[in-house]
Amino acid sequence: MNNQKTTLNHNLHRNISKLIKDAESILIISHIRPDGDAIGSLLGLGLSLQKVGKSTQMILVDGVPDLFLHLPGNEKVVKDSITKYDLSIVVDCSDLDRTGYEFYNKKPDINIDHHVTNTNFAQYNIVESDSVATAAVLANYLPHWDLPIDKDVSECLITGIITDTIGFRTSNMNAFAFRTVADLLENGANLSDLYFKAIINRSFEAAKFWGVGLSKMSKENELIWSVITNKERQLSTYNQRDDAELSNFLSTIDDSSISILFMEQQNGSVKVSWRAKPGYDVAKIASGFGGGGHQAAAGADINDTLEEVVEKVLAETKEVLANH
């Protein structure tokens, strides 16, 4: 892989390499409602560890969404720890609560992420906010930890990069990131197939869910938003907990700077997803509601009524737009 543009912290990577080498059983976990980067990073790291003989538990408390069931190793993902482990790794997660998993007041051993809002919650933290995806961080560092990257690992990591850059079109996509993808492709991954399945392909149920969201769009100046109730979600028959990439589609609409998708959850909370054009920082808005993310894409789970959440979030976002 290409050398990182930043100076490699040799002591940090030496320690991580030793932890991995000495561990027999390794737990890997990512965030609730996992996206492509969470899944790709989890599977890519997990499969690489298995190839050197490590016993791994790959955990997603919400499981793998249907959109990513084509990825190698997806059948190995479980929703809870079933055996003891002696090393824990959290990937693509800005804070520990987002895992939905109980660590019983014990710090995870390793935290690998690229969210600028990451709280550095582990014993060892690799957080590179200038990286396009956590999968890209792993692609560049797995060799430093003596972990292999073959075709299966490459497919998972490429998917993480494709999805977090929304098909290579986010403003942070750069030559270094493209070289990382090119190196992964050298291992035999099929880019066109992975791209189609991650970005273009949608199930019939997901299309119906999009129909609900698109029919309820509102626009005020540079702000676009849509609100989907839990009942409407159920009627669409889309039974996944993610948003079927609808929030990313809203960001493509012309004549808007920020888009927001509000999704009422079964437990009464509201999932809010912001997307922004270059020059705006929605991570700051999300942080004010207990969430986080990136400047161009952020989210928060807010425990309040749908009406209250919509009112408060729109007010804060409109203020950001007005003061820009």
Instruction: In whole angstroms, give the CA distance from residue 243 to residue 135.
Output: 21
Domain boundaries, the chain: 10-199, 204-322
Dig out the tokens for 290 from the structure. 């207990």
Per-residue tens of pLDDT for the chain, all 324 residues: 443 444 568 899 999 999 999 999 999 999 999 999 999 999 999 999 999 999 999 999 999 999 999 999 999 999 999 889 999 999 999 999 999 998 887 899 999 999 999 999 999 999 999 999 999 999 999 999 999 999 999 999 999 999 999 999 888 999 999 999 999 999 999 999 999 999 999 999 999 999 999 999 999 999 999 999 999 999 999 988 889 999 999 999 999 999 999 999 988 899 999 999 999 999 999 999 999 888 899 999 999 999 999 999 999 999 999 998
pLDDT of residue 3: 39
Rounded Cα–Cα distance for residues 164 and 135 (Å): 9
Which DSSP helix (H) or strand (E) runs through 182?
Answer: helix 175-185
Pair of tokens at residue 46: 């997990």
Q: State the pLDDT at residue 104.
A: 80
Strands 87-91 and 110-113 turn out to be parallel
Please give the pLDDT value at position 235.
Answer: 93
Residue 106 amino acid letter: K
| Runs of H (alpha helix) within the chain | 10-22, 36-51, 134-141, 151-164, 175-185, 191-195, 204-215, 230-235, 246-250, 282-287, 306-322
Note the pLDDT of residue 212.
96
How many CA atoms are closer than 13 Å to the CA of 287, on its beta-carbon side?
A: 13
**CATH number attached to the domain at 204-322:** 3.10.310.30
pLDDT of residue 4: 42
Residue 112 DSSP one-character state: E
DSSP bridge partners of 297: 275
The topology under which CATH files domain 10-199 is: inorganic pyrophosphatase (n-terminal core) (3.90.1640)
